[in-house]
C-alpha cells in the first residue's frame, strides 16, 4: 500500500464527532478523526511495513502517526529512528501508543531509558519515565527507588505537562508495588497534589497517586 492510499483510507474513516473530541483534547487540526478501533483494523489489513510507517509518521497527521506505530516492528527500528520518533510524539495519545507498542519492546530500551531520564526534551523524558514506571512494577532490580522518589518529590510539581503524567505514573507504580516505599509515595502525592482534582468517569480510578495506590493495593489484596 502506498502512502497516498493509506491516507485516503484514513480520511474515508474519519468521523466528525471523533474529530471534535480530538480537537478538544488538544490534538490539533492535522487529523481525520478516525476511531481508534478503525485504525487498529486498518493496521491489521496492511500488516507490518516499516517504510510506510515512517512515511505516515512524517506527515504529522495525528491518525497517520497512530497507524504508523502499529505498522512498526520494534526490532527493526534503529536507535536513531526510535529517538527521533519519541521526540516528535507531539501529544500524549501518540506518545503513549509509541511507548506501549514500540519503545518498551525495543532492544535498546535499557540504554535509551537511562539517556531519556536526563533529557531536556519533554517527550524524550516522558518516554524515559514511562519505561522507568514499568521497571518499577515488573523488574526493579538495579533501580534506586528511594532516589527516584527523591527526584519525583523535587521535580514533579514543576514538571512539563508532557512529562507529568509519566512521572506521576512512576510514583504510583512504586507505591503500588513496593510496600516498603508506599507510605512515602502516598505522602509525596498528597504534598504535591498532582491530579487531585482530575475529572474521573464513573467506575474509573483517579490518577491522583494516593487514591490510585490505595485502589490498586485493595484490588490486589
CA distances from 148 to 10, 13, 152, 202 (A): 41, 43, 6, 32
The pLDDT of 20-44, averaged and rounded, is 96
User: Which pLDDT does position 221 carry in this prediction?
Assistant: 83
**Do 96 and 193 fall into the same domain?**
no
What is the total count of domains within the chain? 2
**Do 27 and 112 fall into the same domain?**
no
Range of the domain at 207: 108-221
**Do 137 and 211 fall into the same domain?**
yes
**Do 103 and 113 fall into the same domain?**
no
**Do 124 and 214 fall into the same domain?**
yes
CA distances from 83 to 77, 124, 127, 154 (A): 10, 8, 10, 26
In the block, cell 480537537 appears at 23
The answer to whether the beta carbons of residues 62 and 30 sit under 8 Å apart is yes
User: Which pLDDT does position 79 carry in this prediction?
Assistant: 95
**Do 40 and 128 fall into the same domain?**
no
Q: What is the pTM of this model?
A: 0.91
Can you tell me the distance from the alpha carbon of 170 to that of 167, in angstroms, rounded to the nearest whole number? 5
Listed residues 70, 91, 107: the one ending a domain: 107
- Tell me the per-residue pLDDT of 92-146, one tens digit each, with 9 for 90 and over: 999 999 999 999 999 999 999 999 999 999 999 999 999 999 999 999 998 999 9
Confidence of residue 42 (pLDDT cuts 50, 70, 90): very high
Listed residues 52, 73, 107: the one ending a domain: 107
Confidence of residue 90 (pLDDT cuts 50, 70, 90): confident
Q: What does pLDDT average to over the chain?
A: 96
Listed residues 88, 107, 126: the one ending a domain: 107
Amino acid at each position: 500500500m502506498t502512502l497516498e492510499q493509506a491516507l485516503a483510507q484514513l480520511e474515508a474513516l474519519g468521523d466528525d464527532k471523533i474529530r471534535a473530541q480530538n480537537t478538544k483534547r488538544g490534538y490539533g487540526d492535522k487529523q481525520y478523526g478516525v476511531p481508534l478501533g478503525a485504525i487498529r483494523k486498518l493496521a491489521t489489513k496492511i500488516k507490518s511495513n516499516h517504510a510506510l510507517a515512517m512515511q505516515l509518521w512524517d506527515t504529522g497527521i495525528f491518525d497517520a502517526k497512530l497507524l504508523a506505530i502499529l505498522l512498526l516492528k520494534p526490532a527493526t527500528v534503529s536507535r536513531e529512528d526510535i529517538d527521533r520518533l519519541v521526540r516528535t510524539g507531539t501529544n500524549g495519545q501518540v506518545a503513549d501508543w509509541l511507548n506501549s507498542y514500540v519503545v518498551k519492546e525495543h532492544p535498546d530500551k535499557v540504554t535509551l531509558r537511562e539517556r531519556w531520564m536526563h533529557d531536556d526534551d519533554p517527550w524524550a523524558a516522558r518516554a524515559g519515565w514511562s519505561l522507568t514506571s514499568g521497571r518499577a512494577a515488573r523488574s526493579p532490580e538495579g533501580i534506586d527507588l528511594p532516589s527516584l522518589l527523591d527526584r519525583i518529590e523535587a521535580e514533579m510539581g514543576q514538571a512539563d505537562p508532557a512529562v507529568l503524567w509519566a512521572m506521576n505514573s512512576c510514583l504510583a507504580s512504586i507505591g503500588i508495588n513496593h510496600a516498603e516505599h508506599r507510605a512515602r509515595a502516598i505522602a509525596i502525592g498528597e504534598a504535591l497534589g498532582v491530579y487531585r482534582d482530575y475529572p474521573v468517569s464513573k467506575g474509573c480510578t483517579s490518577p491522583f497517586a494516593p487514591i490510585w495506590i490505595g485502589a490498586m493495593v485493595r484490588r490486589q489484596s
